[in-house]
Amino acid sequence: MKPSTKKYYGDLVDSYLNPFFENMPLAEIIRRNVKEAVAFWVERAKASDSKRGERSIPNALRTGGAIFSWAIEEELVTVNPFLNPGKVFKVESFQGDYLRPEEVTPYLDGVRKKAPRHYPILRTMTYAGLRIGEAIALKWGNIDWNGKFLTVQESSWQGILGTPKTKSSIRPVDLSPETIEVLLQHRKAVAAQSLKAGRSMPFVRNATAQNANQVRTGRVEDQTPLLGESVNA
């Protein structure tokens, strides 16, 4: 289990199951108690004026069901009162307020003006559809300059590198010529900054590299995080 997944379910236990069921023996929890817990969670969410808390209730019910499934296997209980959580509570379909196509250009223009050092990575995230953890884990070596694509191989969670969310999340992502150019200029700016600071010059297109094959293929085994090298434009 990924650390992020473990923390997520731990938070569900701490925030939903424990506040209501903590002092109740497993064998005494019945279906009515589960319904009462749902009513408690709904009222709490309404009091906080947060739809997010309400949307997590189905996951809290499934987590409770998983705990009771384990308890049945261990012969601690005989019945799972959390079965069929959809019959206990249904949450309205969540419609995310995502960035619309017509909002992309104004958004990125604003980033370039107000936070230019973050423009390259935010542009890449927007057009490549990267999750935050995937962007944080992205390294220069993940970019194929000649093929004009990047490969998502890792994700970062609280500084811990691991595989992305699902197997299908390990994927190549095409980059537009414009995004390639933005990343290239960013890379050159990093190279100039490195030279000024007396450090070795990172790879950039048309630069001399020790490994001629890397230049020919456009791939360099550079494990430097792309996000960690943001510089002022």
Q: Are residues 105 and 79 in the same domain?
A: no
Q: Are residues 81 and 113 in the same domain?
A: no
Residue 110 inside a domain? The answer is: yes
What does the alpha-carbon distance between residue 59 and residue 41 come to, in Å, rounded to a whole number?
12
Q: Are residues 193 and 219 in the same domain?
A: yes
Residue 95 inside a domain? The answer is: no
Q: Are residues 114 and 222 in the same domain?
A: yes
Residue 96 inside a domain? The answer is: no
Residue 92 inside a domain? The answer is: no
Q: What is the pLDDT of residue 201?
A: 53
Residue 108 inside a domain? The answer is: yes
Question: Span 49-58, mean pLDDT?
Answer: 78
Is residue 58 predicted with pLDDT exceeding 80?
yes
| Domain span holding position 212 | 101-229
Instruction: Judge if pTM exceeds 0.75.
Output: no
Q: Are residues 164 and 208 in the same domain?
A: yes
The pair of structure tokens assigned to 107 is: 């958004």
Is residue 63 predicted with pLDDT exceeding 70?
yes
CB under 8 A, 24+ apart: contacts of 180-189: 180/145, 180/148, 182/119, 182/120, 182/123, 182/124, 183/120, 183/124, 183/143, 183/226, 184/145, 186/120, 186/229, 186/230, 186/231, 187/140, 189/231, 189/233
Q: Which among 87, 114, 141 is the end of a domain? A: 87
Q: Are residues 210 and 139 in the same domain?
A: yes
Mean pLDDT of the chain: 83
Q: Are residues 70 and 167 in the same domain?
A: no
Residue 47 inside a domain? The answer is: yes
Q: How many domains does the chain have?
A: 2
Q: What is the pLDDT of residue 126?
A: 94
Q: Which among 64, 87, 110 is the end of a domain? A: 87
How does pLDDT run across 83-93, given as a tens digit for each residue? 998 888 876 65
Q: Are residues 139 and 193 in the same domain?
A: yes
Q: Are residues 72 and 34 in the same domain?
A: yes
Q: Which among 61, 87, 113 is the end of a domain? A: 87
17 membership: H or E segment, kind and range: none
Q: Are residues 124 and 216 in the same domain?
A: yes
Residue 7 inside a domain? The answer is: yes
Is residue 212 predicted with pLDDT exceeding 60?
no
Q: Are residues 112 and 215 in the same domain?
A: yes
How many CA within 13 A on the CB side of residue 161?
Answer: 10
Is residue 169 predicted with pLDDT exceeding 50?
yes
The pair of structure tokens assigned to 18 is: 């424990």
Which residue has tokens 């069921």? 21
Band of the pLDDT at 227, cuts 50, 70, 90? low
Percent of the chain scoring above 70 in pLDDT: 82
